[in-house]
Amino acid sequence: MANMIENSQSSLGSSVAKFLREYYIYFVLVAVVVLLASANLDRFDLFERGNFLNERNIINILRISAPLLVICGAFTLLMVSGYIDLSVGSAMSLSAVVYAMLAINGVPFLPAFLITVCVGVLLGAINGFLVVRLKITPVIATLITLSLYKGVALLLVEDGVSAIKSSALAKMPKWFNDYGRDGTLLNLPAAFWMAVAVTVLLVIVQRRGVLGKYAAATGGNPTAAKLSGINTGRVVFLLYVLVGVTAALAGIARSSFMSLGDPLSGDGMELTTILVVLLGGTAFSGGEGKVLRSFCGALIIMSLTVGMLTIVPAYYQTLVLGAALLIAAASNHLVSRKGTS
Amino acid sequence: MSVHSDTFALELDGLSKEYPGVRAVDNVSFTVEKRTVHCLVGENGAGKSTLVKMLTGALRPTSGKIYVAGKNHTPTSPQEAREGGIATLFQELHVVDELSVIENLTLGMEKKRFGFFVKSDLEDRVVATLKAIEPSIDPTAPVSSLSVAQKQIIEIARAASSGADIIIMDEPTAALSEREVERLFGVIRRLRESDVTVIYISHKLDEIFELGDNVTVLRDGKHIVTKPLSQVNGRSELIELMIGRPVFQDYKPRTTVTDEVVLQASGLSNALLKDVSFDIKKGEIVGFYGLVGAGKTEIARAVFGADKYSGSIALNGKQVGHSPREAIAAGIALVPEERRTQGLFTSLSIRENIPVMNLPRMSAGGLYRSADEVSAAQEYVERLRIATSSIDKHTEKLSGGNQQKVVFAKCLFSQAELLLLDEPTRGVDVGAKTEIYEIIKNLADQGDAVAVFSSELEEVLGICDRIFLLFDGVVREELANGPNIDISHILNVVTGGGEAAVQ
């Protein structure tokens, strides 16, 4: 009898723990939203007076978040497969520069968009080649391309100018801003809806797709994956290409939003992306992680960042983000340890 | 008993190691005389490795005492064991590829002052030892340039020059050529003359008779006997002591074996295999039996394309490609030796594990329907009677037997005609074992060809129609299973005795 009670208690405890592990990110998101909503901004002169979460601020946050939102899903799949891409920020910068150059030289929207996406494919394929074919450690390989891609982006911008932008000689076309800024559905820009579309697609890939299953298998147990006949090299290569494509989409979104092609616009993006993916509960060692949870992680981080802009003094912001990463990593560690005990 | 004289090099007093449900070593007491080569023999799982691990500090005894030259020996690490006078030569290689031969030999034994190395005669000593075993190895060469056998020699030289009073050698000749074995024996004899005691573990009984002074037999974790080899009446007595009990043989001839050859392997050779040829017929269960290192896993992995080999493997007359992917596509599936590290995705659920070897079977355009996944999982959970509350349970949480059944389900879902089962019941409880045997027999009855690679004789004798005996990477003999099978002959063959040794 005593045994039975003990059993049912422990299974209750473990199912609560399982529930928390599964859904904690959504609770955190709600908590952040409530926290920010209740912040009274009368004392601050930034944004509008009144509640922080008014329509304009929400739209603003989602608009700025578009690049991070579009990258984090593919990045999650890559990390689930046990690999990492530190070059996303540089790939994003390079794409932003390429896109702006095409636009300022008179290439219409759609070709410019597609060419930039192709650049993303190429950048991802280079990473995949270095890691899969040349078998360079992922961290080292993508640190190399982090430098390379950024170097190319800087080279593309003429001396004495900080970015590709309207000047006396050439003007950015009128449409350039539309993609990242102009409200479409629900007053949100196309870039945001692109991020949502990519996320929906990747959620399906993760739940139903062969690629999603193979990514989880490769990251969870590479030896067993090979012995199960999975071409792990091809899986990893495809995921790098996917990350490259989303980095290009992020570059387009960012350059459209800022109406310039800044070769430094993606700086630090790799760290922010890792932060939100880890916050979403993805295991650093691979095997576990969910696209949708990273999406929520990105929303949390962006809300906090923007919220902090108005509430926390600038000096503290990086520190607070670091603390958030620490909490994410520590809880990740605790959760995965619980899983094995 | 409280006085422990130092007349013995090593004395074990009531040594036990318990695991939940198992006594791996059960109240073992014996003594090892100084300046002898003391052999330790027993079947797989007799407790030899556990015993060695306790001597070297890798495991702590549950109870009992160890005395080295009369002093209590309670090491907690290999380092401490060596300080206590015991050096060990493990089966696996522990060399640092990036360092030179001589740096490897002196690693961890260097004389140091203020964090810097001080020159000593250590280098000369180790080089002399190395030269005595294998003069062709250049001490300044990087270890990465050496062959596996040469690396093994480095390990031997390192143990031999460590200045320990007792050196434990666990299967040291597994990767050595005959000439190298002869040289090693010379070194061991010289060590004995210089007051070193050697504890020698080997499955090769010929080596034991050639080299040993005394022998200790372990069986099922218990100490059976320790006596001088001069008083042992040949291989057969040693084998009898090792088996001890009559081997239970429960084979009933099966009627579904056909003459149709499914798999034809000819002349398989690689680092471990030497010219291995065999065939497997439709509806047949074939067993590969041999001791550790005989080449069972290597054959399974070669057929499955997981290891490189030369020679040819044909399934239904068609050549099979050299990769697991091609093997699976051709209709071969492998249940690997280590299910947790090689077979199962422990971070995934049962439902997610089962279809993974053949996802294209239920997907279109890169997507699959979860309803198909659920129905596949349910089908195999029922068919193999996997005990679980839900198909969404993580395989991490299942018992060993149920985990193994999930790995079986993965292979069955791939629709293989030939199943390679490497140690199919290792780490599985008795009940699940019987169920797995039933599953295997049912598969063969339905027309699958099955190969069982096992180091458990009872398993092979219980279910296999034909048995290949392996020793040292070679198929030594092929036997048809049946009531008249000669078990001591089998044991003789797999421990290196040839036809000639049969009475």
By Cβ distance, the residue of A208, A229, A288 closest to B370 is: A208
State the burial class of residue B329 (Cβ atoms within 10 Å of its Cβ: 0-12, 13-18, 19+).
middle
By Cβ distance, the residue of B356, B410, B414 closest to A213 is: B356
Domain residue extents for chain A: 67-267
Tell me what ipTM this predicted complex has: 0.78
CA distance B366 to chain A (A): 5
Which of B503 and A152 is assigned the larger pLDDT?
A152
φ, ψ for residue A185, nearest 5 deg: -60, 135
End of a domain among B243, B274, B293? B243
By Cβ distance, the residue of B306, B329, B366 closest to A210 is: B366
Task: State the Cα–Cα distance between residues B58 and B86, nearest whole angstrom.
Answer: 13
User: For residue B72, what are its two tokens?
Assistant: 């209590």
Interface test with B, best of A227, A230, A341 (most B CBs within 10 A): A227
By Cβ distance, the residue of B324, B341, B359 closest to A210 is: B359
Residue B400: C-alpha distances to residues B297, B407, B430 (Å): 20, 11, 11
Q: Assess whether B231 and B269 both reside in one domain.
A: no
Beta-carbon contacts of A335 under 8 Å, excluding residues fewer than 6 positions away, are A21, A281
Nearest CA in chain A to B368: A208
Contact criterion met (CB < 8 Å) for B352 and A216: yes
In a domain, B62, yes or no: yes
In a domain, B110, yes or no: yes
pLDDT of residue B2: 45
Residues of A in contact with B341 (CB under 8 A): 221, 223-224
Within an 8 Å CB–CB cutoff, is residue B316 touching chain A? no
CA distance B404 to chain A (A): 13
Q: Assess whether B310 and B277 both reside in one domain.
A: yes
Task: State the Cα–Cα distance between residues B280 and B449, nearest whole angstrom.
Answer: 7
What would the pLDDT profile of A50-101 be if each residue is shown by its tens digit?
Answer: 566 677 778 888 899 999 999 999 999 999 999 999 999 999 999 999 999 9
Contact criterion met (CB < 8 Å) for A221 and B347: yes
pLDDT of residue B248: 62
Q: Assess whether B205 and B266 both reside in one domain.
A: no
CA distance B343 to chain A (A): 5
Residue A39: C-alpha distances to residues A32, A209, A324, B245 (Å): 11, 42, 20, 80
In a domain, B452, yes or no: yes
pLDDT of residue B503: 36
Contact criterion met (CB < 8 Å) for B343 and A227: yes
Task: State the Cα–Cα distance between residues B164 and B173, nearest whole angstrom.
Answer: 20
Within an 8 Å CB–CB cutoff, is residue A131 touching chain B? no
Q: Assess whether B292 and B150 both reside in one domain.
A: no
Within an 8 Å CB–CB cutoff, is residue B362 touching chain A? no
* Position B274, amino acid: K
pLDDT of residue B307: 92
Q: Assess whether B376 and B472 both reside in one domain.
A: yes
Task: State the Cα–Cα distance between residues B357 and B417, nearest whole angstrom.
Answer: 14
Interface test with A, best of B304, B328, B338, B347 (most A CBs within 10 A): B347
Q: Assess whether B194 and B129 both reside in one domain.
A: yes
Please count the other Cβ atoms lying within 10 Å of the Cβ belonging to residue A141: 25
Within an 8 Å CB–CB cutoff, is residue A38 touching chain B? no
Helix H segments across B23-77?
Answer: 48-55
Q: Assess whether B179 and B273 both reside in one domain.
A: no
User: Per-residue pLDDT for A20 more than 80?
Assistant: no
End of a domain among B243, B275, B301? B243
Residues of chain B with pLDDT under 70: 1-5, 21, 91-92, 109-119, 175, 245-249, 498-503
CATH number at residue B238: 3.40.50.300
By Cβ distance, the residue of A208, A223, A340 closest to B367 is: A208
pLDDT of residue B145: 84
Task: State the Cα–Cα distance between residues A139 and B151, nearest whole angstrom.
Answer: 31
Residues of A in contact with B346 (CB under 8 A): 220-221
User: Per-residue pLDDT for A8 more than 70?
Assistant: no
In a domain, B239, yes or no: yes
Nearest CA in chain B to A80: B347
End of a domain among B243, B271, B298? B243
Which of A143 and B428 is assigned the larger pLDDT?
A143
How close are the terminal C-alpha atoms of chain B, in Å?
A: 44
Contact criterion met (CB < 8 Å) for B348 and A216: yes
User: For residue B65, what are its two tokens?
Assistant: 């005492």
In a domain, B254, yes or no: no
| Radius of gyration over every alpha carbon of chain A, rounded to an integer in angstroms | 21
pLDDT of residue B119: 67
Nearest CA in chain A to B304: A227
In a domain, B476, yes or no: yes
Within an 8 Å CB–CB cutoff, is residue A17 touching chain B? no
pLDDT band at A338; cut points 50, 70, 90: very low
Q: Residue A164's beta-bridge partner residues?
A: A261
Task: State the Cα–Cα distance between residues B108 and B470, nearest whole angstrom.
Answer: 38
In a domain, B411, yes or no: yes
Contact criterion met (CB < 8 Å) for A216 and B344: no
pLDDT of residue A9: 45
Contact criterion met (CB < 8 Å) for A227 and B347: no
By Cβ distance, the residue of B329, B360, B366 closest to A211 is: B366
Residues of A in contact with B360 (CB under 8 A): 210
Could you list the residue range(s) of the whole structural domain that residue B408 is in?
A: 261-501
Q: Assess whether B375 and B494 both reside in one domain.
A: yes
What would the pLDDT profile of A245-265 be if each residue is shown by its tens digit?
Answer: 999 999 999 999 998 889 999
In a domain, B81, yes or no: yes
Beta-carbon contacts of B213 under 8 Å, excluding residues fewer than 6 positions away, are B33, B36, B37, B38, B228, B229
pLDDT of residue A341: 34
